[in-house]
């Protein structure tokens, strides 16, 4: 009787288990697989066909979502996230050993000739740069170069009509950079308008404050 009961349990398989201490270790060619009700393997942790360990996560349709897999060129493992069409949208550059492989990021260049910098002669704050951005990070990090042709002035950042951070005071004849990292308090995913404003505080309308950005980016807290 006991033998028959044991045989039935083995045939049914493990229906539920709880680990209260220690962990689950998969050795050699063992693997962990999760299959949905339609027969699609949505999670696989274990060796690939070449014997390398990896992780694959798929959508219920079978298309890739995330993977950690072997790269033959570097003989190392890389991680990647995939869109529904099967394109890698985020991954590390395992062949270089550091940094991103995807996505490609634009590296903007700015005018090196100060005579081509955006400027204002206004004695009241005027927008020199303006744009609408989608918030992706909790903090912004910026750096702007400031110069003049015969006057002092002030520079500030406005977000949706409200000043963010302190007012930068510029002294005539002292070209310098304004750098600041600040928490903006905007909701992640929201869209807001940013304006970099400047004004002259001395001189006449023939004098101007000129500005050129050297960095503006979202960063972590």
Q: Where among 45, 68, 102 does a domain terminate? A: 102
**Model confidence over 86-102: pLDDT tens digits?**
999 999 998 888 898 89
Residue 14 covered by a domain: no
Q: Could you tell me if 211 and 121 lie in one domain?
A: yes
My answer on whether 80 and 121 are in the same domain is no
- The DSSP secondary-structure symbol of 38 reads T
Is residue 139 pLDDT above 80, yes or no? Answer: yes
Range in 8-12, 96-100, 109-113 the model is least confident about: 8-12
Same-domain status, 150 and 210: yes
Q: Residue 175's domain spans which residues?
A: 114-219
For residue 109, being part of any structural domain is answered with: no
56's enclosing H/E stretch is strand 53-58
Reference 178, options 212, 213, 144; nearest CA is: 144
pLDDT at residue 11 tops 80 = no
What Cα–Cα distance (Å) separates residue 76 from each residue in 29, 57, 64, 66, 89? 19, 19, 20, 17, 20
31, 118: one domain: no
Domain total of the chain? 2
Taking only the tens place, the pLDDT of each residue in 21-53 is: 998 888 888 999 999 999 999 999 999 888 889
Q: Over the stretch 151-161, which tens digit does the pLDDT of each residue have?
A: 999 999 999 99
Maximal CA-CA distance, the chain: 105
């Amino acid at each position: 009787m006991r033998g028959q009961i044991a045989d039935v349990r083995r045939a049914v398989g493990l229906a539920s288990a709880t680990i209260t201490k220690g962990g689950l270790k998969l050795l050699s060619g063992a693997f962990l697989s999760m299959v949905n009700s339609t027969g699609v393997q949505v999670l696989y942790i274990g060796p690939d066909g070449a014997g390398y360990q990896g992780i694959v996560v798929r959508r219920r349709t079978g298309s890739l979502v995330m993977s950690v897999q072997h790269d033959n060129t570097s003989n190392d493992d890389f991680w990647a996230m995939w869109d529904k069409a099967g394109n890698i949208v985020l991954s590390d550059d395992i062949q270089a050993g550091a940094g991103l492989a995807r996505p490609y990021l634009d590296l903007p260049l700015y005018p090196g000739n100060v005579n081509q910098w955006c400027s204002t002669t206004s004695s009241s704050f005027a927008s020199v740069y303006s744009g609408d951005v989608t918030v992706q990070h909790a903090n912004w990090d910026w750096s702007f170069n400031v110069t003049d042709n015969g006057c002092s002035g002030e520079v500030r950042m406005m977000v949706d009509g409200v000043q963010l951070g302190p007012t930068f005071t510029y002294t005539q004849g002292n070209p310098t950079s304004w750098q600041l990292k600040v928490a903006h308090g905007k909701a992640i995913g929201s869209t807001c308008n940013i304006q970099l404003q400047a004004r002259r505080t001395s001189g006449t309308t023939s004098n101007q404050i000129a500005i050129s950005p050297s960095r503006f980016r979202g960063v972590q807290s």
